[in-house]
Amino acid sequence: MSTAIAPVENLSTAQLDQLCINTIRTLSIDAVQQANSGHPGTPMALAPLVYTIWNRVLKFDPHDPIWPNRDRFVLSNGHASMLLWSALHLTGVQAVNADYETLGQPSVTLDDIRHFRQLNSKAPGHPEYHWVSGVETTTGPLGQGVATSVGMAIAEKWLARHYNRPDFDIFNYNIYTVCGDGCLMEGIASEAASLAGHLGLDNLCWIYDNNHITIEGNTRIAFTEDVQTRFIAYGWNVLRVGDANDIDRIEQALDVFRKTKGRPTFIVLDSHIGYGSPHKQDTAAAHGEPLGEDEVRLCKRAYGFPEDAKFFVPEGVYDHFTAGNGKRGAEARHKWAELFESYRTQYPDLAVEVELMQKRELPTGWDHNLPVFPADAKGIAGRDASAKVLNVLAQNIPWFLGGSADLGPSNKTLFTYPGAGDFQADTPEGKILHFGIREHAMAAIVNGLSLSKLRAFGATFFIFSDYARPAIRLAALMELPSNFVFTHDAMGDGEDGPTHQPIEHLISLRAIPGLITLRPGDANEVVEAYRFMMQLRHQPAVLALSRQPLPILDRNKYAPASGVAHGAYVLAEAPGGDPEVIIIASGSELSLAIAAHETLLAEGIRSRVVSMPSWEIFEHQSQAYRDSVLPPTMKARLAVEQGSILGWERYVGNSGRVIGMNTFGASAPLKELQKKFGFEPNQVVMAAKEQLKKG
C-alpha cells in the first residue's frame, strides 16, 4: 500500500508544519532502521518540539552557523541525535572549516543521514562539536549538555555586560537545551541547575522530555521525585506543556521564557516515547532499538507517508524551513552585521576584541609583564606563582576569566587587581567565577564558556580532577582550549592523608587523547606553562601545581624555563663529557633531582637532569630533538615523580628505575612522607648509582 501526499500548494500552514514534523520522524526511523542501531523513540516523540524551536523560534542563520549572536540549541539527550541531523539537513545549515570559513556545502547531507552511525558520516551516533557544523557541543554522556549550556548562558551574560553599549545590543542570544529523564538523574545536572538558579540566568531554557522511560523501563523503578518542585527550589521558572504534539502551546511556553526576567526557565514537556504504529507500544525497547521493517511501514502509513519510500523528503518541506528558520535567521544576522559595522565605527577597540575572540586569537601584548622569578632556595609554591600569572593574564586578555570550586583562597585563583569583581546575577561583568562545591559542573561550564569563545579556567585540588574528568575528556574530544588548574598536586598537603593525595591522576589524565598535562617544577616553569597553554586554540590543558614552596632554580646556572615549550628539556648537564646517567623529573621532584645531580657531580659522576613537565608536548617534538634530550644509547636512566609509576617505562626503558608511588599516600607531615616513600636526595643518588652499575 502506498500513500499519496497532497500537492504542496493545497496544504495549509498547519498541514505544512505537520508534514515537516513527520519528515523529521521518518528520516529518524529510516536512519535507525538502516543502521540497525540507534534510538528512534525519542526523535519520534520530540519531533514537534525540535521543529517548533528550529522553525518558529531559534535565531539562527543556516548560512552562517557560527554567527556570534545566534541562539544556541543543545541536545543534551544526545542519543536522539537524529533530531539534530534532521534539523541541520532540512534547514540547510552550511559547513564551516577549522579556519572559520563557510564552505558552501551542507553540514549534513541526505547521504550522511543514509549512513547514520557509519564511518565518516556527518551524522554520527551522538552530536559531535568538532565534526559537524551546527552542533554547539558534543553530547552523549547524560547531563553534560545541560551543564555545558549553563556555561553558554554565563558567557552571554558576561559578553553582553562587557560589549553591549546604548543602542548596540551586540550580544543578546538565548540557549535552548533539550534533556530527558537520564540527564536529570545525573548529579552534574543538579549541580549546574543549582548554580544557574543562583545566578538568575534568564537567557537559559531547559525543555524536559517527561516520558517516564529509561533503558531499564519506566522511571518509577528509580526516579519518582517531584522534578518540578525541585526546579522551583533551585529558583527556576517552571512551566508545563501537557501535550508534546501541541506546537502552538510549545511556542507559547518558549515565548513566556523569553519574557521571563531574573531566572532560568524549565519547561516540562509531557510526551510518550514513540514505537512503531499507534497499535504497538513497547517503550523500553523503543529507547534503543530499530523498529523493524513491518513497524516502519505501519508508522509511515500512520503519518500519511509512502510506506516503501526511504529517506523521503516531501515537496515543500525544504521551502517551509527556508521560509521559517532560513528567512528569520538571515534577517537577524544581516541586521546584526549592519549594527556591528556601526559599532566598529563608534567602538573600534571593542569590535577588534570581539573579532579576535571569535577566532580564538589573543590580543597584542597578552603576555606582557608576565613575572620572572629570581633564584630563591626557599622558593614559592606553584599555586602562588600561578596566582601572579593569572592576575597578569586577566588584565592583559579582556575575555579571560575563571574561578574555583569553592577553593579560591587555597587554589589562589581569586583575582586581586582592582576591578576584577565577582560574577554574580547583579554583577555579570565580574571575572571571578564562584562555582561552589560542584567540580563536575564546573568543568562542563568551563567548556560552555570556551564554546562561546571566552578563555576560561576552572580550579580545584588535583585529587578532585576525578570529579571533573568526564567533562575534561569531552573538552579534549571537542578540541577546546579549556584550562583546568589543579593545586595540591602530590603529597604536599601531608596531614590531609591519602584522600587528598593524588597518585594515579597524572597518568590517568595523560591517557586522554588530545589533552595537554603540565606539571611545572618551579615558579618560572609555571610562567612558561601558562605561556604555552594560552596559545593553544584546539587543545585543552591541565596544570598540576604544588601546595608547598618549591625552590626557584638559578636560570643563570641551569637551562632557561622556556624549555617547557618542548615538554622536556635538558635542565642541568655535567661538564667533561657525555652524561653517565639521566635523571628525569617533574613538579616538586625537579629540585630533588637537582640536589641529587649536585651530589653526584661532587663525587665525579656525570649526570644529566631532564625536566619533563609534559609528556604530550614532548611527544610532539621531532625525533631528533627527543633523541637529543634522551639519547637512545644512554641506558642508565632514572625518573622521579610523586605519582603512579605506570607509563614511565617509555622514558627510562625496561632496565631503568622509577622512584614513584606504588601505593596510596599517608597522613603525616610532608618530610616524613618524603622519607617513607623515598623522595629524598640521598635516595635519588643511590638509585642513580645503581643504574650506573647496571650500565
Rounded Cα distance, 384 and 393, in Å = 15
pLDDT number for residue 279: 37
Q: How far apart are CA 476 and CA 538, in angstroms?
A: 8
Distances (CA, A) of 428 to 172, 401, 422, 484: 14, 12, 8, 22
- With H, G, I as helix, E, B as strand and everything else as coil, classify residue 61: coil
List of E strands, 536-635? 541-544, 549-552, 569-572, 581-585, 607-611
User: Cα–Cα distance between 468 and 502 in angstroms, integer?
Assistant: 14
- Average pLDDT for residues 315-333, to the nearest whole number? 97
Cα separations in angstroms, 89 against 14, 123, 601: 21, 10, 68
Pick the catalytic residue from 439, 525, 580, 616: 439
Task: For 314-323, write each residue's pLDDT tens digit.
Answer: 999 999 999 9
Q: What is the DSSP string of 381-442?
A: EHHHHHHHHHHHHHHHSTTEEEEESS-HHHHT-S--STT--B-BTTBTT-SEEE--S-HHHH
Mean pLDDT of the residues in the chain:
95
| CATH 3.40.50.970 holds for 566-694 | no
Please report, to the nearest 10 degrees, the dihedral formed by the alpha carbons of residues 286, 287, 290, 295 taken in order.
20
Would you state the pLDDT for residue 3? 56
- Report pLDDT digits (tens) over 406-416: 999 999 999 99
Strand order in the sheet with 637-644: 569-572, 607-611, 581-585, 637-644, 657-661
Q: What is the pTM for the complete model shown?
A: 0.96
Res 278 pLDDT > 70: no
What CATH number labels 376-551? 3.40.50.970
pLDDT the model gives residue 273: 67
**What integer pLDDT is reported at residue 99 of this predicted model?**
87
CA distance 636 to 692: 6
The strand pairing partners of 168, in sequence order, are 165
- Helix residue ranges per DSSP H, 236-326: 247-259, 283-286, 293-303, 317-321
Higher pLDDT, residue 182 or 99:
182
| pLDDT category of residue 280 using cuts at 50, 70 and 90 | very low
- Over residues 567-596, the pLDDT tens digits come to 999 999 988 889 999 999 999 999 999 999
250 vs 271: CA distance, rounded Å? 12
Distance CA 326, CA 328 (A): 6
pLDDT of residue 437: 98
In this structure, are residues 116 and 31 in contact, taking their beta carbons and an 8 Å threshold?
yes
Q: Is a pLDDT exceeding 50 seen at residue 276?
A: no
Q: What pLDDT sits at residue 694?
A: 80
Question: Element (H or E) spanning 449, and its range?
Answer: helix 439-451
CA-to-CA distance for 270 and 211, rounded, in angstroms?
6
Per-residue pLDDT band for 274 (boundaries 50, 70, 90) equals low
In angstroms, the CA 355 to CA 341 distance is 12
**CATH fold for the domain made of 8-333:** Rossmann fold (3.40.50)
Helical segments of 92-246, H only = 110-114, 144-163, 181-185, 187-199, 227-234
Alpha carbon 640 to chain centroid, angstroms: 31
* CB within 8 Å of 117: residues ≥ 6 apart: 31, 35, 37, 38, 123, 124, 125
Give the number of other CB atoms < 10 A from CB of residue 388.
18
At 177-217, the pLDDT tens digits run 999 999 999 999 999 999 999 999 999 999 999 998 888 88
Say what the pLDDT of residue 215 is.
85
Residue whose cell numbers read 528550529: 54
What are the residues whose beta carbons fall under 8 Å from the beta carbon of 347, sequence distance 6 or more? 165, 168
Which residue, among 695, 9, 39, has the nearest Cα to 320 in the 3D structure? 9
Helix and strand tally (H, E) in the chain?
A: 26, 22
Is residue 439 part of the annotated active site? The answer reads: yes
Res 275: pLDDT: 45
Q: 539537513: which residue's cell?
A: 89
Report whether pLDDT(261) > 90. Answer: yes
- Gap between the Cα atoms of 385 and 373, Å rounded: 9
A 10 A CB-CB count for 486 gives 26
CB atoms within 10 A of CB 694: 12
Residue 304 Ramachandran class (φ > 0 left, ψ -120 to 50 alpha, else beta): left
Residue 478: strand, helix, or coil: helix
- Nearest-angstrom CA–CA distance, 620 and 634: 21
Q: Indicate the pLDDT class of residue 91, thresholds 50, 70 and 90.
A: very high
Question: What confidence tens digit (pLDDT) does each residue in 34-90 have?
Answer: 999 998 899 999 999 999 999 999 999 999 999 999 999 999 999 999 999 999 999
Report CA 234 to chain centroid distance, whole Å. 24
Is residue 381 pLDDT above 70, yes or no? yes
- Between the CA of residue 388 and those of 391, 393, 413, 645, what are the distances in Å? 5, 9, 9, 32
Show the cell assigned to 225. Answer: 521525585
Residue 2 pLDDT class (50, 70, 90 cuts): very low
Instruction: Identify the residue whose cell numbers are 571575572.
Output: 431
What pLDDT, on a 0 to 100 scale, did the predictor assign at position 285? 37
What's the pLDDT tens digit per position in 670-686? 999 999 999 999 999 99
What ranges do the domains of the chain cover?
Answer: 8-333, 376-551, 566-694
Task: Name the β-bridge partners of 459.
Answer: 404, 485
Element (H, E) at 96: strand 94-96
C-alpha to C-alpha distance for 366 and 150, rounded to whole angstroms: 28
